[in-house]
Structure 1
Amino acid sequence: MATAELSFEQAPPLSVPLRFFYGAPIFLFLAALLMMLRFDQVFVSRWTPQTLALTHLVTAGFMLQVMLGALFQLMPVAAGANLWRPHWLVWPVHVGSFAGALGLAWGFYASYGAWLAAGGVLLTLAVLVFMLASALALLRTPARGPTVSALRLAVLWLGVTVAIGLSMAAARGGYLGLEPLQWSQLHVAGGLVGWGGLLVAATAYLVVPMFQLTPAYPAWFSRAFAWALAGALVLGAAATHPLAWIPAVVMVMGFAVMTLDRQRRRRRAKTDLTLSLWRQAMSCVLLGGLLSLLVMLGENDPRISVAAGVLVLYGAFVSLIAGMLYKIVPFILWLFLQPRLSQVPPMTRMLNQPLMRWHWWVHSGGLVMAGLAAFWSPMGLGAGVAIGAASLLLLAQLMRVGRHAQRALATLSQPS
């Protein structure tokens, strides 16, 4: 989709996506704090209460907040799917998802069924409200194309993931039998590959060519990828053997290869932090995918599973999301200022370049230490410190962009 086809005038009020974007780093900081306090537990297995709490702080907290905020912005602009009264809709969605993710993480950490149930119900209600509004908007939009298809499928898999997650939380809390716990593979695959992977693809078709000056994704690839990936997920869910998930993993790795190829062909030689974070994310998808394939083929060492989780969650998703925030937040503020000011400051001036470089090194150091912590857990303390610092640097940069826009607008009210 070309930039000219984007309907920027249909964007929601600034406060709608920004509240999600500004709140997301809080969850990343809490995850880092948990690493620092319980590094002896969070890196030894995927299934300890501390690891489950950490995982959901990243997925149901950091990732979901940014993804919901991005959808509020992306759906009307890129797909012509106007959400019903977004300035009203955002309140139950934001408050419910924020509080629900906190309650869910605390319920896992404390092994307290009531908190698990309360957090799961709040999160489910918030997502249900958003799903109903977004499904109606996506079904009514006349727009067609790869981005719209991927968005529709991503929202569908979000619902599947949350529904399974709620039943698993109820089972852990003693409110249901243990049968839903057998759906953990589908919950993970639906969340990371179905919801996360498809939303990343829908976003990448737009932001990679627009912000990184790359060639567009090939039409044959963008038209087929979302449907083929959804089919691979259905195959994995329908089969009972772990090998059935291999096609989905291979397809995600193929998306990473295609994205790296697009970036290799970019028209600008200079590399910025966003490009570096995207390349880091796609490299972690490939390495995490290889480790996941080892597990599916019978590798029983729990350290391999933990290392794969670190690479996919932090190395891929957190890196990619941070890279997108550094472009999307200044861009939507720049769009807001453009019709209101005669001289709009460039987007690059809204960010502190030295702080961005610090963020890159601290973020990358945290990734390396978290990966090593899967094999030597004391390294998790250093990972927590680094990731905590990276989350604060990210939040500081986003707040700086907001202050920059406020100062620019303040000049309108000053006497000439």
Structure 2
Amino acid sequence: MTMPRVDPDLLPPFALPARFFLTAPLFGMLCAGWLLVSGPGIWVSRWHPALLGATHLLVLGFLLMVMVGALAQVVPVIAMRSLPAARTLLPWVHILLCLGTLLLAASLGLPRPLWLPWALASLLPALSVFAGMLLWALLGKSSGEIAASLTRLSGLALVVTILLGAWLALGTRWPGRFAIGRWLTDVHASWGLLGAAGLLVIAVGSQVIPMFHVTPAFPKAGLRAMAAWLLAGLLLALLGVSRTGGNHGLWAVTPWVSLAGVVLFAVLVQLLLAKRKRKVPDATVNAWRLAAGGLLLGAVILPLSVFTPQWGWPAGSTLAAQFLLLGSLWTIVVGMLLKIVPFLAWLHLQSLAGFQPSALARVPHMQALLAGSWARAQVALHAVAMVTLVICPLWSDLHVFACLLLLGNMALLGGLLGLAVLRAGKARSHVVHALAEARGQTSGVFGRTM
């Protein structure tokens, strides 16, 4: 399988998505510090205010931050249309997303409900504008029908997540005017993690796994089945909440329906990676396998925690959420960052060099931008950090160690990505110099043309 041919004119400058990628580890470090100072009592319940604040730092500040940066590059490729006014709008989306994430985490975790309106005033315009940019680009002809359709569905799920989150925020600020409950929080989280993030992971994974790791293509029927199961469960959850306030039996079956799509994706990833032709050590392959394992464990634990409350295991739902969020989505994003940042840097340098041999010679290989050995070490550290964090709800004595591991993990990731971007910037100056020299030599032979 090959990706559609990339038209460099459709892509925004590398600096635009790079700012999202480089900001994400900073929020990861902030999340680690937040967890550390909150103490081990944070793991008593997933409704703990400090844990809610930390969760939104990770989900919005890390996962969504990377999603926005990746979509800014992926959508023009599969939609064959550039994002409208990307150079003007994306910097503002970045600023407002950073500000809104900080305000929302503080208002949930400290708590400071007076800051919620300011958080909404930052997040809603940023996410609404970006969702509009995506949907505008994806409405036309596309180069990959299934990938584009999955990305459209992910964008629509993001819109639903935004609306549900806004309602929850308004209900927290003005409890008497907006009816909210924990069931609505569960629906909000489901649409965000399984809908917006999950569908996007499937869309991107179906493209990059065969391309980077030389595996067979994802079966189209399997991709359609994944999307159908995920959406069916999410729509059932929304229907059950809207009609009965979360007290209907319909709500109880939704985890099984959506998780069927999750299990199918995890199994397909493992099967395809086992058939890859490039049998070389690869950090991203390790991350995909680790994430697939986390998905399967979370898919088993979550329904058990819903249907067997008599176990007296209050940490069950928290543990399931840990596996689904940290063990799968977070791991996938970390692995993708280690691959996509050097790849995009290399792609933009190749585009800049054009067909000029002397300039192309100055374009470094992806391994020179981010060494594979360091990437594998980072994924190994991430795996240890993820396991200790997942265990924390059951064994709180690991709290300090887990938080320090998370801090080191995010610091190393940020350092590797930052170094790759710096090396790409240095290579860019060499490419520009080589192009200038080539133009000078051409002018010397054929005379000045300007």
Instruction: Select between 154-163 and 403-412 the one with higher mean Cα deviation.
Output: 403-412
Give deviations 1:178-223, integer Å, cap 9, x for gaps.
5133411210110110001000011011111011111110121224
State the alpha-carbon separation in 2 of the partners of residues 225 and 316 from structure 1. Answer: 16
Among 323, 339, 343, the residue aligned to 1:327:
339
Corresponding letter in the other structure for 1:42: I
Number of the residue aligned with 1:413: 433
Runs of at least 4 residues of structure 1 off by over 6 A?
A: none
Instruction: Select between 3-12 and 340-349 the one with higher mean Cα deviation.
Output: 3-12
Partner SS for 2:360: coil
TM-score with structure 2 setting the length? 0.88
Matches within 5 A, 1:274-353: 274-299=284-309, 301-339=313-351, 340=353, 341-343=359-361, 344-353=363-372
Number of the residue aligned with 1:403: 422
Matches within 5 A, 1:23-42: 23-42=23-42
Number of the residue aligned with 2:216: 215
State the alpha-carbon separation in 2 of the partners of residues 3 and 332 from structure 1. Answer: 14
Number of the residue aligned with 1:139: 139
Change in CA separation of 1:297 and 1:147 when aligned onto 2, cut-off 3 Å: same
Indicate if the aligned counterparts of 1:359 and 1:394 stay in contact, CA closer than 8 A: yes
State the alpha-carbon separation in 2 of the partners of residues 220 and 8 from structure 1. Answer: 31
Partner SS for 1:133: helix
Matches within 5 A, 1:29-108: 29-108=29-108
**1:307 to partner: Cα distance:** 1.4
Instruction: Select between 128-137 and 170-179 the one with higher mean Cα deviation.
Output: 170-179
State the alpha-carbon separation in 2 of the partners of residues 356 and 144 from structure 1. Answer: 30
Corresponding letter in the other structure for 1:204: G
State the alpha-carbon separation in 2 of the partners of residues 282 and 132 from structure 1. Answer: 31
Give deviations 1:241-272, integer Å, cap 9, x for gaps.
32233110121111111111111111122221
**1:144 to partner: Cα distance:** 5.3
Number of the residue aligned with 2:195: 194
State the alpha-carbon separation in 1 of the partners of residues 308 and 179 from structure 2. Answer: 24
List alignment gaps of at least 5 residues for structure 1. Answer: none
Indicate if the aligned counterparts of 1:170 and 1:176 stay in contact, CA closer than 8 A: no
Corresponding letter in the other structure for 2:300: L
Matches within 5 A, 1:232-311: 232-239=233-240, 240=248, 241-299=251-309, 301-311=313-323
State the alpha-carbon separation in 1 of the partners of residues 254 and 433 from structure 2. Answer: 62
Indicate if the aligned counterparts of 1:246 and 1:296 stay in contact, CA closer than 8 A: no
Indicate if the aligned counterparts of 2:151 and 2:199 stay in contact, CA closer than 8 A: yes
Indicate if the aligned counterparts of 2:63 and 2:330 stay in contact, CA closer than 8 A: yes
Instruction: Select between 230-239 and 399-408 the one with higher mean Cα deviation.
Output: 230-239
Indicate if the aligned counterparts of 1:6 and 1:78 stay in contact, CA closer than 8 A: no
Change in CA separation of 1:221 and 1:266 when aligned onto 2, cut-off 3 Å: same
Indicate if the aligned counterparts of 1:46 and 1:52 stay in contact, CA closer than 8 A: yes
Indicate if the aligned counterparts of 1:232 and 1:248 stay in contact, CA closer than 8 A: yes
Aligned pairs, how many? 416
State the alpha-carbon separation in 2 of the partners of residues 152 and 171 from structure 1. Answer: 29
**1:60 to partner: Cα distance:** 1.4
Indicate if the aligned counterparts of 1:8 and 1:77 stay in contact, CA closer than 8 A: no
Corresponding letter in the other structure for 2:333: I
State the alpha-carbon separation in 2 of the partners of residues 177 and 382 from structure 1. Answer: 43
Change in CA separation of 1:142 and 1:316 when aligned onto 2, cut-off 3 Å: closer
Corresponding letter in the other structure for 2:91: W
Which has more radius of gyration? 2
Number of the residue aligned with 2:356: none
TM-score with structure 1 setting the length? 0.95
Identity of aligned residues (%): 31
List alignment gaps of at least 5 residues for structure 2. Answer: 241-247, 354-358, 438-450
C-alpha RMSD of matched pairs (Å): 1.8
Higher relative contact order (CA 8 A, sep 6+): 1
Partner SS for 2:82: coil
